[in-house]
Amino acid sequence: MAYSGLQEFISFLELKGELVRISAEVDPILEITEIADRVMRRGGPALLFEHVRGSRWPLLINAYGSEKRMAWSLGAESLDEKAGEIDSLIQWAWSQLRDFSLLSALPEALSRLPIARSLMPKKVGRAPAREVKDEGGFDTLPIIQCWPQDGGRFLTLPVVCTIDPETKSQNWGMYRMQIYDDRTAGMHWHIHKDGAHFFQKYRAQGRRMPVVVALGGDPAVTYASTAPLPEGIWEAMFAGFLRGKPAEVVEIGDTGILAPADAEFILEGYVDPDEERLEGPFGDHTGFYSLPDDYPVFHLERMTRRKTPVYPATIVGIPPKEDCFLAKATERLFLPLLKQLCPEITDINMPLEGVFHNCVLVSIRKRYPGQARKVMHFLWGMGQLMYTKLIVVVDDDIPLKDLSMVAWRVFNNIDAKRDFEFSDGPLDALDHSSPKPRFGTRLGIDATRKWPEEGHDREWPDPLAMRLDIVELVNSRWKEYGIELD
């Protein structure tokens, strides 16, 4: 299912009983966070605040705050269903490379033409996001301050649209933006991100960098802007694939930038390469305040919007929060690609407590000594997985969603001297524990069954397990025992 925009998704959630409208007036400074935090911690619904103090526009939060709603946002009933579509496409592509036959490939290729067509964004001349030219600035929007020590109010779900000045490649990324005043905001893009890469090119040329910020739009676009795509792959193409229909884009002025046509608000402006201001602190998804630092400044020149827009927002903090489920979508959707590139991987779990990049649990089908370490370094070499502070590798008989089972295997299978792997490398800019910003030591733990070649000379015991015939006998007689279990 491809939504026509954020408001169609809102209607869908309401129809499903997954959205609550709040008519009471609320304060965007801290009050919305406290309400949303309580709802998120209990797995509650999306919230539409219809009267936010100081603004004409309603505010939506927690729209993606469960695996179910996250899957619905991508037009599926489950994230694994959507991952299955990706896996099917990957398997077909590899089969064609391996056993190409024109007679068999042509019918298959024709059946997949709609997928290919959905990848190419559709440029439109008229767009809902351009219906009204708004003379206001940031102060007209219901922008929230999330936590007490935050440096101010922040845009927390912006899709930041930029263009490479050399190659003209487009990029849509999600970077928080601290509001300084009605017309300026901090642009918090990390040095590892495409937006910052483009910015360095403008700086080298001594030119202002045009930037367009889209607020709202099809949920697939919002998610795609967070996805760890390979450099040079435009997020609009991935969004089109996810929604099964081309993402509609509109060109903004003479910048060459293509922005989501179905956005609720479009903010046009620029970043001056010679200007920086202190940004932060900000209560982050690590559950701690990220430290203040100097970042470029976005200058708002023009704003357009829908006639009756809805402002999208989120909060981050101690899990679970809405961003955890955006990350869970990435875990499931990119697993087929990881398994294709590293076939011994059978599953991956990024626990919410690890806030995406701090912990990855991976199960493997082990075939040779040292294979767990090979998998660790493979993952550290894959895009944003380079930030992973802890990788735990277990055998493929362990269900990774059962964290108690994983912990049991780790606590009992390791010898610290033998099974710890230390790797120095890049860390996320939000990490506060490393001795130096953006760089530190990552840890891998090999909790797989050990082989003699790995230095384990003793016999490795089998785990406890009941015989299957006894399990089936007890299953068949359970009602006779008269035992009630919760």
Separation in Å, CA 432 to CA 175, 188, 426: 18, 16, 13
Residue 105 above 80 pLDDT? no
pLDDT confidence band for 86 (50 / 70 / 90): confident
Query: What topology is assigned to 116-312 in CATH?
Result: Pnp Oxidase; Chain A (2.30.110)
Residue 98 above 60 pLDDT? no
pLDDT confidence band for 21 (50 / 70 / 90): very high
pLDDT confidence band for 142 (50 / 70 / 90): very high
What is the mean pLDDT of the segment spanning 190-209? 88
Q: Tell me, what's the pLDDT at 306?
A: 96
Listed by start position, the domains of the chain span 116-312, 342-449
Instruction: Name the residue type at position 197.
Output: H
pLDDT digits (tens, 9 = 90+) for 284-321: 988 899 889 999 999 999 999 999 999 999 999 998 99
The residue from 218, 284, 347, 419 that is catalytic is: 284
pLDDT confidence band for 94 (50 / 70 / 90): low
Residue 104 above 60 pLDDT? no
Q: Tell me, what's the pLDDT at 72?
A: 96
What is the mean pLDDT of the segment spanning 248-256? 94
Q: Which CATH class is domain 342-449?
A: alpha beta
| Three-state secondary structure call for residue 375 | helix
Mean pLDDT (the chain) is: 91
Q: Tell me, what's the pLDDT at 116?
A: 67
Residue 110 above 50 pLDDT? no
Asked whether the beta carbons of 279 and 294 are under 8 A apart, the reply is yes
CA-closest candidate to residue 356, choices 377, 330, 333, 380 = 330
Higher-confidence position of 87 and 224? 224
pLDDT digits (tens, 9 = 90+) for 39-73: 999 999 999 999 999 999 999 999 999 999 999 99
What is the mean pLDDT of the segment spanning 244-256? 93
Residue 100 above 70 pLDDT? no
CA-angle at 323, arms to 388 and 306, nearest 5°: 135
Percentage above 70 pLDDT, the chain: 95
CA-closest candidate to residue 125, choices 308, 258, 225, 267 = 258
Alpha carbon 140 to chain centroid, angstroms? 28
Radius of gyration (Cα) for the chain, nearest Å?
Answer: 24
Asked whether the beta carbons of 242 and 220 are under 8 A apart, the reply is yes
Residue 241 above 50 pLDDT? yes
Alpha carbon 357 to chain centroid, angstroms? 10
Distance CA 159, CA 71 (A): 20
- Helices 102-111 and 79-98 pack at an angle, to 10 degrees, of 150
Residue 481 is inside which H or E element, if any?
helix 468-481
218 given a catalytic annotation: no
pLDDT digits (tens, 9 = 90+) for 365-399: 999 999 999 999 999 998 888 889 999 999 999 99
Residue 103 above 80 pLDDT? no
